[in-house]
Structure 1
Amino acid sequence: MAALRVFLPFAICLLLGHQTFAQNDAPCQKSKWNNAFNTFKYRHILNKLPNSLQKEKWNELIKKDNNCSRTRQSFLGLDMLDKVKAVCTKEGGKIYEKNMCISNQIFTFYTVIIQEVTCKILKVCWVMAALRVFLPLAICLLLGHQTFAQNDAPCQKSKRNNEFNTFEERHISDELPSADDLNKWKEYIKNKGNCKRPIQSFLLRKDLDKVKAVCRDAGKKMYNNNLCISNQPFTFFTVTSEIGTCNIWSVSKENKSLILGCNTLADECLPVHFERNPQNRGPHKCAESCQAP
């Protein structure tokens, strides 16, 4: 598997692997563990980062620190520590999910995927993304180089006239292969010309009207820029593939709430961005409908 260089201008998630931590109901409550910050620092802050995507250099580092039991790990340099800490104060915002906050600015970090026990490095990603701080099980959003017009709230006027068309082209299909037919998925993604996007999600066209309705009364605001989340779960496919070759790594059939970026085009609030939902979040019971003023 080749190393990936990934750019996420508006991505949300940081790949921290499966870890446990003292999770409070809201940010900045008193910690239940005295060593929680030290553990975070030990796991994710390095005095000197390998300035490389070469797996050999990362393999040496991971083995040295005896971190082979954690299959997904992310690292930032020590020079970024003060900025990371500031995410929990003035440089971050609540995302109304337990004690998590998200950074206001983009961070650069490395994410490493490791084979358990052997410590073999399977993949190294160089990522630019907003940080979510303190995640129990986070997912690296390898969406490739994807941009969309991000407004401060849902249903504001779109900055691009073709946003919905781009969304429809990327995520809506008349028919889709079965989850276990990787060869047909490879052919499908090649035909769409999407080999540059390593993680992609697809819905059937028969659900398009329901998908569009998420940006109106069938979805709730997430109070995170222009994102809305559907009231009901949808069934869709998520495909991970190798950049350039389109070799398929995995296909999963998911059933969960959709998180969509919603902007107004020609007086209609429409989906313009598909945001992954790795933690299977649902709408907050007190949130307003997506199109509420």
Structure 2
Amino acid sequence: MVLKMLSFVIILNLVLHTCVSEMDTLHPSQPCTEAENKNGHNTFLKRHVRNDTPTDLKKENWKVFINKIGTWNRPVQSFFAFGEKNNVTAVCSSGGKMYKGNLCISKKSFSFITVNIDCKNKIVKSVKRQKQHVILACDKFKNKCLPDHFQVNTKNIKPNNNKPDCSKLKLKSIYEE
């Protein structure tokens, strides 16, 4: 009897853990699920794809810019050229491959600028141009799969061509309004 009860408790815990992890809205199990933060895509654009970012690597220009947008609280900030907006957005559809969770990785490399900040002293420590595949969290906003978070690709991971495109993950019966 004790063994049956113990087995039941273990199975119940496994089932509950599985259900709760699937309900985790901060880390969905696949891209293009309903966004928790309805303004997440606009916040992403405001943080990473702006038409007023400096195009050079001069620390002083970036200091003025960081002052202007008031993001001294973010130690690492990355910015795409505004002309790349459509290509960046496409990572969450045909331009990206499924990576893990709700993350998609771009099929092509992107050039972007990364700024490292000393938040406490409000100093721009470094500004560098990078070129690599980008990893973006992709969620559903008004029936479109769009980026809402930039995930740093510190290990320079490349897309796995055996994985499906992010756009192929949509399940019409579940995700269409």
Q: Mark yes or no: TM-score above 0.5.
A: yes
Q: TM-score, normalised by structure 1?
A: 0.48
Among candidates 65, 71, 75, match of residue 198 of structure 1: 75
Higher helix share: 2
Matching residue of 1:97? none
Aligned to 2:16: none
- For 1:211 and 1:189, the matched residues in 2 are separated by 22
After TM superposition, the structure 1 = structure 2 runs for residues 127-142 of structure 1, keeping only pairs within 5 Å, are: none
- Paired residues of 2:32 and 2:102 also in contact (CA < 8 A): yes
The CA RMSD measured in Å over matched residues stands at 1.7
Cα 1:196–1:209 shift into 2, 3 Å:
same
* 1:209 and 2:78 are equivalent in the alignment: no
CA deviation profile, 1:193-213 (whole Å, cap 9, x unmatched): 100000010011111011110
Q: Of residues 151, 155, 160 in structure 2, which corresponds to 1:275?
A: 151
Count of aligned pairs between the two proteins = 146
* Percent sequence identity over aligned pairs: 32
Question: 1:265 is matched with which residue: 133, 141, 146?
Answer: 141
Structure 1 runs of 4+ with >4 Å offset: none
Q: Is the 8 A contact 1:215 1:228 kept in 2?
A: yes
| Distance in 1, Cα, partners of 2:70 & 2:52 | 17
Q: What is the CA distance between 1:176 and its match in structure 2?
A: 3.1
Could you give the per-residue CA deviations for residues 42-63 of structure 1, whole angstroms, max 9, x where no partner exists?
xxxxxxxxxxxxxxxxxxxxxx
Q: Following the alignment from structure 2 to structure 1, what is the Cα–Cα distance between the partners of residues 83 and 26?
A: 26
Could you tell me which runs of 5 or more consecutive residues in structure 2 were left unpaired when the two chains were aligned. 1-20, 170-177
Equivalent position of 2:34 in the other structure: 157
Compare relative contact order (CA 8 Å, sep 6+) and give the higher one, 1 or 2.
2
- In structure 2, C-alpha distance between the alignment counterparts of 1:231 and 1:204, rounded to whole Å: 18
**Do 1:182 and 1:248's aligned partners in 2 also have CA atoms closer than 8 Å?**
yes
1:114-169 C-alpha deviation (Å, 9 max, x unpaired):
xxxxxxxxxxxxxxxxxxxxxxxxxxxxxxxxxx9432210111111100011001
2:55 and 2:33 mapped to 1: Cα distance? 37
Report the Cα distance in structure 2 between the residues aligned to 1:196 and 1:169, rounded to whole angstroms.
15
Q: Name the SS for the 2:166 alignment partner.
A: coil
Cα distance in structure 2, aligned partners of 1:284 and 1:257: 11
Q: Does 1:182 align with 2:59?
A: yes
1:255 counterpart letter in structure 2: K
Which of 137, 162, 171 matches 2:48?
Answer: 171
How far off its partner does 1:178 sit? Answer: 4.5
Contact 1:175–1:204 under 8 Å retained in 2:
no
Paired residues for 1:230-241 under 5 Å? 230-241=106-117
**Matches of 1:173 and 1:159, distance apart in 2:** 23
The CA deviation at 1:278 is 1.6
Distance 1:191 1:245, change over 3 A: farther
Q: Is the 8 A contact 2:57 2:129 kept in 1?
A: no
Match of 1:221 in 2: 98
Shift of 1:177: 2.5
Aligned equivalent of 1:243, options 119, 136, 147: 119
The letter for the 1-side match of 2:32 is C
Letter in 1 for 2:27: Q
Q: 1:290 maps to what in 2?
A: 166
Matched to 2:160, the amino acid is H
Letter in 2 for 1:231: K
